[in-house]
Structure 1
């Protein structure tokens, strides 16, 4: 048995030694890799600074500084592993693990910072190509401006000024943006020629963004015509649907909500301008849809109420009166036996009283009368539960051998029990009240 145990120990030690050796190799290779990565990133940073300037490259410079600082710690730990002072396996293991951790952190930080800068560097390398494309886009969009103005004039003959307010100034805005983009492109070219790369890049980004916004405006004018035609087509369908809903509303329960919603929909239909007048199909469609949806919702609620009749005021008052009686009984029992009543019964009574108060203002409105009935019934049920819990507390606190003759027998449950319960509750409640008052 001892030999078997010794063999197992040797195998475990051999496995641990192999892990330590692998960790040491990882620490050495990680140090070499990170050191080379720092040198490569520093070279790339010099190029990026030359192309982008100091501002956009600050994050990479800060990352390099942090990595160099922490890599100094890693080299120091590696030196300790190879100095003349003997080390335990645990010390070597701890240092090598820390070296690997620092190197992995350095690689991740540099990856994150250089990846963020890679797009900027690629854009700088493609700056001449991008600048040429910006000039082509400016020319193309400028050629589209007259057509956009013609489209807007055609739209103005069919739609109201309110409908066109989003695109009315579009051609002028696009023209201003294109002029600004052309100026920014010229500035970018001159700054690049003067080796002022950071300013050149900023001007190029400005020109690119101005071209993008101008294209969006011109596209929006052309798209508006299509969207307006779709809105008109949809409006015709909604008008037909609304007229059908008004006919169907005659068969719905004629409650005030349905009547008001039908009147609102009729008013929305009547407000539609004649076909020969300029209109705003977007606003008309929105208003008509809102009125149509309102009638649908009112009819649905009315039919649901018809299927489940609303309780009358008399029924609600009867439920409230019943809750009042049950609350009064529970309140009297608890008040008469205060010293014996626990928290459960008192909590149920307080909740019953709160529900009763909440129910009162809901009784007059037809829309809330059903909720008032629910609260009234809840108040009664809670009061009844409070009464049962109070009786439980009284029964558990009442002496079991309180006959006339003390413990020696006699009548049980007679005047002694009654007086004991009353006096017990009064005396204990009084003592507790005096204690807390003091």
Structure 2
């Protein structure tokens, strides 16, 4: 009996040991597999970060080169800056390719090998953009040192800042007049543009004063960077001030588009009700009735308060008309669809321009690679809409521009 009990104990112990070993092997296998799975994902994330960093670097460099080219053009003229303009044009083409590759990284999460190849090309393009633009910038930086006296540049800078301060006061008055007719959100970045421009000019003044003090004790070449920074700040102030009249023009366009679209919406809902009896089925009739109700609500919402911020009101009517177009699709002719597209395009274009302006303001001089890529897509779609001779294609492109620009703004803010 004791022998039997011993044998049972040995068997139980052996089985237990086997189970423990099996469990350990199983757990170890799970850990190994999970680590193997984690490593590729971590590698993909690293590839995306590297590509995103290169995209941001290249995008910033192109923007900086555009500003620098403006300076060079003002100083040396069209002929002398031809090579710089050509280099910037090539850099913009490279940047467009860079954005295209970045979209492919986002759209094909499983393409691991191709991800690395695309990321490598993004980095290569970013390096090429930087090297070509840096070479042109250095060439003109050297020319400024040789051909432009520091004292004359300092005097010219003071005169430019003085003129821009006068412009600040004028643009502030224009901005205040806009505030009487439009809500603050409608003004976007223009709402605070004069104050931000004034702050930039204060910094430019400080750098100019520092440069003048240095001129008394140092060589002229030593103050070049100070003057260049001050000139750049003055240029940024000029661009900020330009937001006020451009926003005023855009809001006037929005009001005109709102009035025209409101009239088109009334006509469309009247025609839809007249065609209601000829609807091919009860479902279509119900959809038309619902869409007409949406148009009525959108028109009713565009009172005096909405006129103070016309773009959302414009979007509301446009969305209601789109819903009616879908409801009537089964019974409308091609000519009617083209007519609707022509009517809706003007409002969609204004909405896209407004949303692009909001996205650019949200990005400022920063923003993630994703936000910049969406903004680039929005700009491409709006350009396509403006080039297109097909009203349906133009309307669709304008709608896509609005969507991409909204995505860019959200990504930039959050």
Normalised-by-shorter TM-score class: 0.3 to 0.5
Larger relative CO (CA 8 A, sep 6+): 1 or 2? Answer: 2
- TM-score normalised per structure 2: 0.41
When Rg is computed on C-alpha atoms for both structures, the one with the higher figure is 1
